Amino acid sequence: MAGVLCVGIATQDFVFGLDAIPTTAEKHRARDLAVVGGGIAANAAVAVARLGARAMLATRLGEDTTARDIVSDLEAEGIDCSLCRRFPGHRSSSSAVLVDARGERMVINYADDTLPADAGWLPPRLPDGIRAVMADTRWEEGGLALFAAARASGGYGVLDADRAVRHPELLSAATHVAWAAQALREATGLQDPREGLAAAAKRADTWMAVTDGGNGVWFTEAGAIAHEPAFPIVPVDTLGAGDVFHGALALGLAEGRDARGAVRFASAAAALKCTRFGGRAGAPTRAEVDAFMNDRTRENG
């Protein structure tokens, strides 16, 4: 079975469920709490593992108890953490996440900006059984190194472009770039996702997409902009949904799906995650995604 190597950030998340995001500087009580691992790349790796495939994670951590908890949680999910490096004298990343009654969230993250950026210790080719790399923008040097490894190995490189990049070559190093709607607006200055995607696609010779929550996904196809609608759901918690999407997208490509099929597969996985509280704890299994997609096919057929 084809596997995915995810590269980027791993965190420890404290997820508080509230009726509304606070706007006053006073004490507030949460109605729910989940202490879970987080981080874009780590969440994507969990998504891949839950979907029944081999998952690896390359990340930078501090030498602290937070790192111990992060790695322990990931290994319990069956993720290969042999490329998770701990750096003495540094701190691991953690986040406080506030989720309101509509499932929307506010994230307050701490990340150690002094962690060494050098990625020379990463492998020059993909490990056996790995067919795709999924990278976030939190460690661009790592993404560049493993996208090069993916191309050298004939695999795929999926970039989660959720914010502006410091190294523009990261966009062309990937084989597939999936923007967050806000990041695409900021990068192009265009409000319409179709126009923004068309403009961005002219700057790099790669497949591109933009995710826009309940509005679905737009992506390049045969020189045009295609659209895959979102699965209709009642959201409970959107934390980690984009991470699940990108992990599932990379896996779909690794397994041989065409881009449209990979987008639909990833959209189903992300939609299911949104129906569950607790960040990545709500990432679905392969059986759940297959059943969800089959149910929607029958409903539409």
Q: Cβ contacts of residue 224 below 8 Å, gap of 6+?
A: none
Instruction: Supply the pLDDT for residue 198.
Output: 96
Number of H helices, E strands in the chain: 9, 13
Instruction: Tell me the per-residue pLDDT of 105-132, one tens digit each, with 9 for 90 and over.
Output: 899 999 999 999 999 999 999 999 999 9
- Give the whole-angstrom CA distance, residue 179 versus residue 159: 8
* Separation CA 160–CA 27 (nearest Å): 35
Was domain 3-19+31-112+124-300 assigned CATH 3.40.1190.20? yes
Coil/strand/helix, residue 192: coil
Domain boundaries, the chain: 3-19+31-112+124-300
pLDDT of residue 301: 57
The rounded distance, in Å, linking the Cα atoms of 258 and 260 is 6
Task: Write out residues in the chain with pLDDT < 50, as ranges.
Answer: none
